[in-house]
């Protein structure tokens, strides 16, 4: 499928999704959101994929939602625009396969929200994070008020949102917003290695682990333990479990088949 504002490519078991509006610093407008929705459906249908990298073209990850488009919206239109962004980012967050944000530059507003919709984030040392919406007279509308507090705690989330402050990559690492910071020239290689490492493990087990973490994190501990118990048992019904354990016992490298 051809896209105007994004690029999508697959290399073996790994997909790479790039927001491709470099002249607009990859700002998210309605066309980008519509194309993201379509490509996520394509990604979901590809049962051979084991990991997805999300990044931005040029010097920006995503600098935010398109302010020019938002500036003319009525309250109902604003709500509809937010609803579209929320639905698309939730679709990304709900993918069965692991997702890695390669944050190469500005990750502001909708860009920070896009990164937070991925399973984890690897940042360039030139990356910049923030939720500057209150400085524009609005609040984060693509999940920022909810995902940010879940990642860094309510105190830091309120601080960043209320003050519309931006933080550099080292501070994002300190508060737990990102998992690694690497030199800009090493970002692509580092994320590719991480994606390959994820893809080399039992793909069914990884998907079940993601389900256990995501679903279990929303319920009480007793219910969460029950979820893990059931998914742990289910993993023993897979060919991947047999392949992984037999390879270990025979001191061989496991070859997994997504089953």
Spacing of C-alpha 171 from chain mean position:
19
Write the DSSP symbol of residue 28: B
Query: Does 113 qualify as catalytic in the annotation?
Result: yes
Residue 148, φ and ψ in degrees, nearest 5:
-65, -45
Catalytic residue (one of 96, 133, 185, 186): 133
Residue 109, φ and ψ in degrees, nearest 5:
55, -120
- Measure Cα distances from 221 to 50, 153, 213 in Å: 28, 19, 12
Instruction: Mark 12-39 as b/e (b = at least 16 C-beta within 10 Å).
Output: ebbbbbbbbbeebbbbbbeebbebbeeb
Spacing of C-alpha 257 from chain mean position:
24
Query: Does 69 qualify as catalytic in the annotation?
Result: no
Alpha-carbon distance 96 to 147, whole Å?
A: 18
DSSP assignment string, 32-94? HHHHHHHHHHHHHH-TT--EEEEEESTTEEE--B-HHHHTT--HHHHHHHHHHHHHHHHHHHT
Location of structure tokens 């929320």: 86
Report whether 5 contacts 23 (CB < 8 A).
no
Q: Can you name the residues that pair with 182 across neighbouring β-strands?
A: 124
Catalytic residue (one of 35, 113, 180, 188): 113
Active-site residue numbers? Answer: 113, 133
């Amino acid at each position: 499928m051809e896209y105007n504002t994004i690029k999508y490519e697959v290399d073996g078991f790994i997909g790479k999704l790039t927001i491709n509006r470099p002249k607009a610093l990859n700002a998210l407008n309605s066309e980008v959101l519509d194309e993201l929705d379509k490509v996520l459906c394509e990604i979901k249908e590809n049962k051979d994929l084991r990991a997805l990298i999300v990044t931005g073209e040029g010097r920006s990850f995503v600098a935010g939602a398109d302010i020019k488009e938002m500036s003319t919206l009525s309250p109902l239109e604003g709500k509809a625009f937010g609803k579209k962004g929320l639905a698309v980012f939730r679709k990304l967050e709900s993918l069965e396969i692991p997702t890695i944000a390669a944050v190469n530059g500005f990750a502001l507003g909708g860009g920070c929200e896009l990164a937070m919709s991925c399973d984890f984030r690897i940042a360039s040392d030139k990356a910049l994070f923030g939720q500057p919406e209150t400085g524009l007279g609005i609040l984060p509308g693509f999940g920022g008020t909810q995902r940010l507090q879940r990642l860094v705690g309510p105190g830091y989330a309120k601080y960043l949102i209320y003050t519309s402050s931006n933080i550099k990559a080292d501070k994002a690492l300190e508060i737990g917003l990102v998992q690694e910071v690497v030199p800009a020239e090493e970002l692509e290689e580092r994320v590719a290695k991480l994606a390959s490492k994820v893809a080399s493990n039992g793909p069914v087990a990884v998907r079940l682990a993601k389900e256990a973490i995501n679903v279990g994190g929303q319920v009480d501990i007793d219910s969460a333990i029950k979820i893990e118990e059931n998914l742990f048992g289910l993993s023993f019904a897979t060919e991947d479990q047999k392949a992984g354990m037999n390879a270990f016992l025979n001191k061989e490298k496991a070859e997994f088949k997504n089953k």
